[in-house]
């Protein structure tokens, strides 16, 4: 587990470093043994794993080969190391993006799939500009003169959902309570519900609504996000009030993966969820 405030390299270096650490530990090698096998110094391996140093393609391939990683994983990480600019897409919004959140949005941009469980509000990726403005305007963490910039940034994130070349595959389970809360005016609320129904028609977006009368899932408190990368690695993101934590440990991940599966089981089907939203209108 790590928090951005404690450990804040660039998003891509953080992800590659975490992957390198995972493969080394799975190979049951210490940093010293990995150094002896590869000829790469122990300090350099440590810097590569904590993301504080740019990982060179040849070094990535050398380490992973020594760890016995499969060719696909080696190719994936080597190619990922060239996507630093994509992961840092949020740089124009540095003035309004908190450091603890910039790591997440960088990782989200290079992820292939995202699962979100949201209990209290419509997730940022599916918010209308008006809903986002009303919600952000009430936040004690956003300055009044930064509200529009934050909303613009949120819309830039959401654009990935309709990217014709590389869309983000999104699966959201949202509580019916979040859909009933009126953010802003009734007109804004209705427009937000219409937007949800429209976005749910995209082949890359799956929306499910969790109602109290459908039972209690294994996960019934909080919210969390699972990001998947090339169907071979995954991490869990949990947002706090003014910080966030990330889980990459396989045991922890399995807990949240099982929780996500149970949420999907208990919630209404995507078809019935859209029907419910339209009835609310």
Judgement on whether residues 139 and 43 belong to the same structural domain of the protein:
no
Highest mean pLDDT among 171-180, 222-231, 241-250: 171-180
Residue 17 has what DSSP assignment? H
Condensed to tens digits (0 to 9), the pLDDT of residues 62-114 reads 999 999 999 988 988 888 888 877 888 988 999 998 888 888 999 999 899 99
Q: What is the pLDDT of residue 72?
A: 87
Residue 8: what pLDDT?
Answer: 56
Kindly give the interhelix angle for 42-50 and 11-26, rounded to the nearest 10 degrees: 120
For residue 5, the model assigns a pLDDT of 42
Res 219 pLDDT > 80: no
Angle at 141 between CA 137 and CA 144, to 5 degrees: 40
Same domain, 66 and 93: no
pLDDT at 34 over 90: yes
Give the whole-number percent of the chain exceeding pLDDT 90.
63
Determine the Cα–Cα distance for residues 95 and 167; give it in Å rounded to an integer: 27
Give the model's pLDDT for residue 190.
96
Is residue 22, in this structure, part of any structural domain at all? yes
Whether residue 94 is contained in a domain is answered as yes
* Domain-embedded: residue 208: yes
Residue 152 lies in a domain: yes
Q: Are residues 165 and 265 in the same domain?
A: yes
238 within some domain: yes
Alpha helices, DSSP H only, in the chain? 11-26, 31-38, 42-50, 57-66, 71-80, 84-87, 99-110, 129-137, 147-158, 176-180, 186-199, 250-266, 270-280
Q: Which pLDDT score, from 0 to 100, does residue 231 have? A: 61
Average pLDDT over residues 234-240: 90
Same domain? For 43 and 116 the reply is no
Q: What mean pLDDT, rounded, does the chain reach? A: 90
Lowest average pLDDT, out of 5-14, 170-179, 190-199, 254-263, goes to 5-14
Mean pLDDT of 114-124: 95
Query: Is position 179 within any domain?
Result: yes
Q: In the structure encoding, which two tokens stand for residue 156, read together?
A: 């830039």
State the pLDDT at residue 229: 87
The confidence score (pLDDT) of residue 54 equals 83
Same domain? For 130 and 163 the reply is: yes
Give the range of the structural domain holding residue 47, as residue numbers without chain letter.
11-86
For residue 139, report the phi and psi dihedrals to the nearest 5 degrees.
-75, 135
87 and 109 Cβ atoms separated by less than 8 Å: yes
Q: Report whether pLDDT(6) > 60.
A: no
Q: What is the CATH number of the domain that holds 189?
A: 3.30.870
Last residue of a domain, one of 29, 56, 86: 86
Integer Cα distance of 47 and 34 in angstroms: 14
Residues 174 and 255 in one domain: yes
**Look-up: residue for tokens 């990982």?**
55
Q: Choose one of 51, 86, 121: the last residue of a domain.
A: 86
State yes or no: pLDDT of 7 exceeds 70. no
Give the pLDDT score at 1: 52
Show the tokens assigned to 239.
């947002």
Residue 4, pLDDT score: 45
Strands (E), the chain: 113-118, 169-175, 205-210, 224-229, 233-239, 244-247
User: What residues does 169 pair with on adjacent strands?
Assistant: 113
What is the count of structural domains for the chain? 2
By DSSP bridging, strand 233-239 and strand 224-229 are antiparallel
User: CB–CB of 57/81 below 8 Å?
Assistant: yes
Give yes or no: residues 110 and 82 share one domain: no
Q: How far is the C-alpha of 277 from the C-alpha of 281, rounded, in Å? A: 7
State whether 23 and 62 are in the same domain: yes
Output the domain CATH number for residue 47: 1.10.260.40
The pLDDT value recorded for residue 232 is 66
Asked whether residue 2 is assigned to any structural domain, the reply reads: no
Q: Final residue of a domain: which of 86, 111, 131?
A: 86
Residues 174, 240 within the same domain: yes
């Amino acid at each position: 587990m790590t928090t951005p405030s404690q450990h804040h390299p660039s998003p891509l270096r953080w992800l590659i470093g975490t992957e390198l650490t995972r493969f080394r530990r799975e190979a049951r090698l210490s940093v010293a043994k990995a150094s002896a096998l590869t000829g790469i110094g122990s300090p350099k391996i440590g810097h590569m794993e904590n993301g504080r140093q740019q990982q060179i393609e040849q070094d990535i391939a050398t380490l992973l080969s020594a760890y016995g990683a499969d060719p696909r994983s080696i190719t994936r990480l080597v190619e990922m190391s060239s996507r630093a600019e994509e992961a840092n897409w949020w740089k124009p919004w540095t003035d309004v993006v908190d450091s603890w959140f910039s790591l997440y949005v960088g990782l989200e941009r290079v992820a292939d799939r995202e699962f979100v469980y949201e209990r209290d509000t419509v997730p940022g990726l599916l918010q209308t500009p008006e809903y986002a403005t009303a919600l952000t305007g009430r936040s004690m963490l956003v300055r009044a003169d930064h509200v529009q910039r934050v909303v613009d940034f949120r819309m830039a994130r959401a654009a990935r959902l309709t990217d014709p070349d590389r869309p983000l595959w999104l699966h959201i389970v949202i509580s019916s309570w979040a859909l009933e809360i009126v953010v802003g005016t009734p007109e804004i609320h209705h427009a937000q519900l219409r937007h949800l129904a429209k976005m749910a028609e995209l082949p890359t977006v799956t929306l499910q609504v969790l109602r109290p009368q459908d039972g209690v899932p294994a996960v019934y408190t909080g919210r969390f996000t699972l990001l998947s990368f090339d169907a071979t690695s995954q991490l869990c993101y949990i947002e706090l009030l003014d910080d966030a934590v990330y889980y990459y440990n396989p045991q922890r991940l399995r807990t949240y993966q099982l929780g996500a599966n149970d949420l999907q089981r208990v919630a209404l089907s995507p078809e019935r969820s859209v029907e419910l939203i339209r009835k609310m209108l």
